[in-house]
Amino acid sequence: MKMLVAQNAQQKYLNCLTYSRPQLRQLQQQAYTCPACQQPVMLKVGTTMQPHFAHFAGAACHAATEGETAEHLAGKALLGQLCRRWQVTFAYEVYLPAIQQRPDLLLSIGHRRIALEFQCSPITVPRLQARTQGYHQIGYQVIWILGQRYQRQQWRQSNHAFLQYALKWGWYQWHLVVARSELRLLHHIAHSGYPQQTSFQVSTLSQLQHITPPQRPPLSVAALLNESRQLYYKLGQAAPELQQLQQACYLKGHHLAGTPLCCHQASMPPLNRRAIVLLQVRLLLFCEQLGQVTLAQLRQFCWQNARAFYCLPLVDEQFWYLQWCVQTLKNWQRQGIVTAQETEWHYQGAQWYGDYFAKQRALLK
């Protein structure tokens, strides 16, 4: 494991970022140990990568979380510079023995302690959840900031796992673009379309005070027809992800290609792994079968369709899965598909079409 901070023989901490390369070369002959595992480490001062300490080959450090890269080392240094600009008290790589974790930076703002984690390498959902819960266990907030690996155009489970929610930002996450020395907030993240797409707005630190929710227009007839056409083509190709749902529609006397218009939404919160239209068809069939739906039954629906949602280890995912369904029912309530009575929804019926072409003719009238 590579790190920026180590202890010398006098138990004093030495931070590579506070010395020049010539100064660090003069310090290379001293003995250093890892603050977490107390094993010897070496001071490495090259010409390209940020100077750092590294464990010797074969060493096993219980605080090691990921292999250091040039991006990770430079990113931590950049976050430190931003903290100084904000006049925020911070320290690099403080070892927390109670949870055996070492955040990249530890911020102190009044009585609050905030761990900053700059994530550049892959991490499993259970590991992400465990590290987050570790900080919460000792009363620390944690902010995950994502590196280049997570800044692809196509979003995957690895991106969705870092989603968080705030009233003023909607669904959001932080990205650090080291090459441009820029910390970005991706906010008001949403899903739309079939095949599914992820959209968001991007703001830099100087723009945070001016964030406003985006005005998302209703789904146009052209967009609705395109979704329906893609669904029709996929059914014609016997796409595996559609077969079970098509069978469920068939048993109710419906055709998936004739999905009601209420199942096509301009956008929804970015929680659903399967496309909006597919998950909403499942929910519509659920309502049709029961006639009336309670919150407890909606929770059952979420549990039964858990694989249709992304794993969200940084939030209460069961709560948000339920909210996704409640938002859908509220949309349907405005369209007369359901009526609401306190925490129950009563199914009134939806217009199914015989097939894609019948739906197309109705839309183009």
Q: Is the pLDDT of residue 65 over 60?
A: no
Q: Nearest-CA neighbor of 160 among 133, 200, 116?
A: 200
The predicted model scores a pTM of: 0.85
Query: Model confidence over 241-252: pLDDT tens digits?
Result: 999 999 999 999
Distances (CA, A) of 56 to 4, 10, 161, 169: 15, 21, 33, 44
Contact 79, 176 (CB under 8 A): yes
Q: Report, at the CATH architecture level, how domain 70-210 is classified.
A: 3-Layer(aba) Sandwich (3.40)
Q: Is the pLDDT of residue 39 over 60?
A: yes
Tokens at 193, concatenated: 């379309």
Cα distance between residue 269 and residue 312, in whole Å:
12
| pLDDT reported for residue 114 | 97
Query: Model confidence over 152-183: pLDDT tens digits?
Result: 878 888 999 999 999 999 999 999 999 899 99
Contact 231, 256 (CB under 8 A): yes
Looking at every residue in the chain, the average pLDDT score rounds to: 92
Q: Is the pLDDT of residue 68 over 80?
A: no
Q: Nearest-CA neighbor of 222 among 96, 360, 354?
A: 360
Q: What are the residues whose beta carbons fall under 8 Å from the beta carbon of 101, sequence distance 6 or more?
A: 63, 65, 95, 115, 131, 134, 135
Q: Nearest-CA neighbor of 159 among 177, 147, 141?
A: 147
Tell the burial category of 87 from Cβ atoms under 10 Å away from its Cβ (0-12, 13-18, 19+).
exposed
Domain ranges (residues) in the chain: 2-55, 70-210, 221-364
| pLDDT reported for residue 62 | 64
Cα distance between residue 103 and residue 113, in whole Å:
11
| pLDDT reported for residue 248 | 97
Tally of CB atoms within 10 A around 357: 13
* Owner of token pair 């892959």: 122
